[in-house]
Amino acid sequence: MGASVKAPITRNQKWWGLLFVSPAVLFFAVFAIFPILFGSYLSLTRYNLLTPPVYIGFKNYFALAHDRKFLLSLRNTGVFVLGSTVPIWIGSLLLALVFDSKIPGRTVWRALFFLPVLPPLIVVAVVWKVILHPYGMVTAVLSPFTGLGEIPWLTDPHLSPILLIAINNWTMIPFFAMIWLAGLAAIPDELRYASALDGANSAQTFFLVILPLLKRTAVLVAALSTINAFQAFILQYELTPDKGGPADTNLTLGLLIWKYGFQYFRMGDAAAASVVLFAIILLVTLIQLILGRSKY
Partner 1 sequence: MNRSSREKSRSPLARQWLGTLIVAAFALAFAFPVYFMVSSAFKAENEILAIPIHLVPYEFAGLEEFRRAMEIAPLGNYVWNSALVSFVNVVCTLLLSAMAGYGFAKFDLPFKNFLFFFVISTMMIPQQILVVPLFVEIKYFGWVNTYWGLIVPGLMNAFGVFMMRQFIAEVPNEIIEAGRADGASEVQIFVILVLPLLLPALASLAIIIFIWSWGNFLWPLVAVTNEKLAVLAVGITNYTQPYQRQPMWGAAMAAATLTTLPVLIVFLAFQRHFVKGITAAAIKG
- Stretch 147-186 residues interacting with partner 1 (CB under 8 A): 170, 173-175, 178-179, 181-183, 186
The H or E element containing residue 272 is helix 267-293
Stretch of 19-27, 64-72, 77-85, 158-166 contacting partner 1, by CB under 8 A? 19-27
Under the criterion CB under 8 A, does residue 104 sit at the interface with partner 1?
Answer: yes
- How far, CA to CA in Å, does 134 sit from each of 150, 155, 159, 230? 5, 9, 12, 28
Residue-level length of the chain: 296
Residue 14 vs 247, nearer CB to partner 1: 14
Under the criterion CB under 8 A, does residue 115 sit at the interface with partner 1?
Answer: yes
Q: Are 151 and 134 in contact (CB under 8 A)?
A: yes
Under the criterion CB under 8 A, does residue 264 sit at the interface with partner 1?
Answer: no
CB of 103 to partner 1, least distance (A): 5
Number of residues near partner 1 (by CB under 8 A): 116
Phi (first) and psi of residue 54, to 5 degrees: -115, 125
Angle, to 10 degrees, between the axis of helix 106-114 and the axis of helix 86-100? Answer: 160
The terminus-to-terminus CA distance of the chain in angstroms comes to: 28
Among 84, 48, 99, residue whose Cα is nearest residue 233: 84
Under the criterion CB under 8 A, does residue 290 sit at the interface with partner 1?
Answer: no
CB of 277 to partner 1, least distance (A): 6
CB of 18 to partner 1, least distance (A): 6
Stretch of 33-41, 58-66, 71-79, 80-88 contacting partner 1, by CB under 8 A? 33-41
In the DSSP assignment, the letter for residue 240 is S
Under the criterion CB under 8 A, does residue 211 sit at the interface with partner 1?
Answer: no
Residues in 59-88 at the binding interface with partner 1, rule: CB under 8 A: none
Under the criterion CB under 8 A, does residue 207 sit at the interface with partner 1?
Answer: no
Under the criterion CB under 8 A, does residue 50 sit at the interface with partner 1?
Answer: no
The number of angstroms, rounded, from the C-alpha of 67 to the middle of its chain's C-alpha atoms is 25
Residue 171 vs 249, nearer CB to partner 1: 171
Residue 18 vs 247, nearer CB to partner 1: 18
Residues in 225-244 at the binding interface with partner 1, rule: CB under 8 A: 227, 230-231, 233-234, 238, 241
Binding residue for partner 1 (CB under 8 A) from 87, 116, 152, 246? 116
Distance of alpha carbon 192 from alpha carbon 189, whole angstroms? 5
Q: Are 231 and 254 in contact (CB under 8 A)?
A: yes
Distance of alpha carbon 165 from alpha carbon 172, whole angstroms? 10
Under the criterion CB under 8 A, does residue 208 sit at the interface with partner 1?
Answer: no
What's the maximum distance between 2 C-alpha atoms anywhere in the chain?
Answer: 81
